[in-house]
Structure formats: C-alpha cells, structure tokens
Amino acid sequence: MDLNATDTRVRIEAFLRAVAKADAVRVTRLERMSGGAVQENWALDAEVTGGAHTGAQQWVLRTDAKARVELSLRRSEEFRILQVAHAAGLQAPRPLWLCQEPDVTGREFFVMQRLPGTAGGHRLTRDAALIPDRTRLARELAVNLARLHAIKPPHPGLNFLKTTLARDDIADYRACLDRMREPHPALEWGLRWCELNAPRDEETTFIHRDYRTGNYLVHDGWLAGVLDWEFAAFGNPLEDIGWIFAKCWRFAGKHLPAGGIAEAADFLAPYQQESGRTVTAKALVYWQVMAHARWAMIALQQAERHRSGVEPSLELALTGRIVAELEHEIMALTR
C-alpha cells in the first residue's frame, strides 16, 4: 500500500488535523519502516500548527500488511492494548489516535509516538556497544514484564482478549497442523510431550506473547519501549518467559539464555523479585518447548502464505525452512 499517493496523504493530514485538534498538519515524511511482515509501520513526521501537539512531531502509523496472520489482533484492539499498557506504566509507545474510517487509507490504522533506539535482534546480540550493561537491560526487561503480568483478567479495557492456557495452546497448534498440507511428526511429538507434561494449575494474567529480542527498542543502552502487541492475550505468564528464553530468539547470542543478551539469572532474579512468582527449571523448559512449537506454527503459516501464492516472498519461503531448527530444539529440550 502506498500511503504517499497524494490523495491518501491529504486525507491522512485532514484526519490528523481533526484528531489533534490542530489548525494545520503537514506531513513532512511518510516512509515505510523495516521489519513487520504482518503489520506495516510507517515513520510519520509532521509539522503541527495549533493544539496540544503543535510543533514538529515524530510518530509511527501502524497498519495491516497485505495478509494478516490468523492469530494476530486487529489494529483497533492493539490500540486499546497500548492504552492499557501505557496507563499501567509499561514501557511502550504512547498510542495517540485510532482511525477506523475506511475512507482515509482503505485500512484500519493507528498513530503512536515514535520511540528512539535499535530493535534489530541481530544487531543487539552482536554489537556489544549497543548494550554496555547487559545485566541492567535484562533487569529492565524482567521488571517491565513482571508489571505487565500484574494486569489480570477481567479487565474492562481488555474484554476482547481471549484466554489461552497450556492446553488451549496445544489444541490451537494441533488445529494449525491439521490445516497444513504435510504431516509434521516431530512437532506432534513436541505437542504430545507438552500435553503429558502440562501444568496442573495455571495462573492467568495479561501476556504479551511476542516479548523477545527484536521486539523492544534499546536506546543508549536502556530499554526504550516494547513493540508489537498484536498477539497479546490472557494466559500463563510463564509463556512469555519461555518465549524470550527460547533459543530461536537469541539471534547471535545463542549462549545467553535471556534473549541472547544476558545470563538466565540476570533476568529471572529481578522477575521473581518483582512478581513474587517462582520460575522453576522445569517450567522454563516446558515453556521453551511451547515457544518453539508456537514459532513453528507461525513459520508454517508464513511459508504457506508464500506457497499458496497469496504473498510470494523469499523471506516467507525461507521461513518454512526454519521449522527443522525448531524441531531439532524441541527434540533436544524434551530429552
């Protein structure tokens, strides 16, 4: 989608002028940002005259990419999640305005504050200069996650979220496998193991479900904000910990369990302290198996988007070949 078509840009400016209660808004830059196969993020710079936002503004316009991943939320829902997250004092971009008028760009979008920093997982795990104090960043991530998990259902602002505990996840992933053209015995093995080892009792909190290296911004070595809230749900908080610990999200830092940036204890100790929750070694393994299974489901879906012709893409095609790594890790973790 090209938001820079003159008509579209004029409509975006008119929308912004109305919601910002400004006299005039001039968009000076509107450029697709890298990343986001599922959503498109556009860097939006604007000159605002009048109202509370007067001056030069740096925002992000977030909208759906061509094909939605079936598991992801709508933009209007993500907008409401950001409002809740921001109100709870979590590290996240401040949501500004939601546009549900199809006449503006043709798709739902919202505008949020643009935070500074680097998010790229490969860069953050490779370039030591970006994170001078790894223990400190791990602590920030852990404490922020503990606070995120302090949000509990029922929540008036989040009544649209589904609840998904371990057994629901297993059922979801099996349903996903049933929609695929080929069978995947190693993934079935992992899910059967998850079923046999499922926790007897589970806590239910707000969970992010994509809280990992690659989805947070680091600015001057500090955590600047957590991005990509489109998979959020109510569920077992340990799922988020298994996700950020999973080997598939460690990028170049394979030997550093906490997101490829820090040792396990650097993350777990502050998390346990802030949340009052104990993360056992067994739970950590369990939710890492789940993490690899879940990423495998997403990878299969992405490969299918390419194979089906819906969205021919080399990146999506290669994602299909990541599944072997995830299966390999599942086999190792369940030994």
Partner 1 sequence: MNDRPDAAELLEIARRTLLDQMLPRLPQDLRYSALMIANAMVIAARERAGGDADASAELARLQTFYDAPQQALAGRALAEALIEYNRRLAADIRAGRCDDRAGLRDHLERATADKLRVSNPQALKN
- Give contact residues for partner 1 (rule: CB under 8 A): 174, 177, 182-186, 188-189, 191-192, 196, 247, 254, 314-315, 317-318, 321-322, 324-325, 327-328, 331, 335
Shortest spacing between CB 178 and partner 1, in angstroms: 10
Q: What angle do CA 251, 258, 40 make, to 5 degrees?
A: 50
For every residue of 188-248, DSSP letters joined together read HHHHHHHHHT--SS---EEE-S--STTSEEEETTEEEEE---TT-EEE-HHHHHHHHHSGG
Q: Dihedral (C-alpha) 249, 252, 253, 255: value to the nearest 10 degrees?
A: 100
* CB nearer to partner 1: pick between 75 and 247: 247
- In sequence order, the β-bridge partners of residue 31 are 43
Residue nearer to partner 1 on the CB measure, 185 or 309: 185
CB of 115 to partner 1, least distance (A): 22
Nearer to partner 1 (CB atom), residue 189 or residue 222:
189
Closest separation between CB of residue 174 and partner 1, Å? 7
Residue number with CB closer to partner 1 (193 or 216): 193
Strand pairing class (163-164; 216-219): unpaired
Minimum distance from residue 179 beta carbon to partner 1 (Å): 13
- From residue 304, give the alpha-carbon distance in Å to each of 36, 259, 298, 310: 17, 27, 10, 9
Choice between 101 and 195, CB closer to partner 1: 195
Both tokens of 311, joined, read 């969205």
Q: Which two tokens stand for residue 254?
A: 């394979």
Residue in the block written with tokens 């935070």: 115
CB of 173 to partner 1, least distance (A): 11
The answer to whether 107 and 96 have CB atoms below 8 angstroms apart is no
Radius of gyration of the chain (CA): 20
Closest contact distance (angstroms) between CB of 196 and partner 1 is: 7
Supply the minimum distance, in Å, between the C-beta of residue 257 and partner 1: 13
Closest CB to partner 1 among 279 and 296? 296
Whose Cβ is closer to partner 1: residue 96's or residue 290's?
290
Phi first, then psi: give them for residue 249, nearest 5 degrees: -110, 20
Nearest to 230 by CA among 68, 44, 60: 68
Q: Cis (ω within 30 of 0) for the bond into 185? A: no
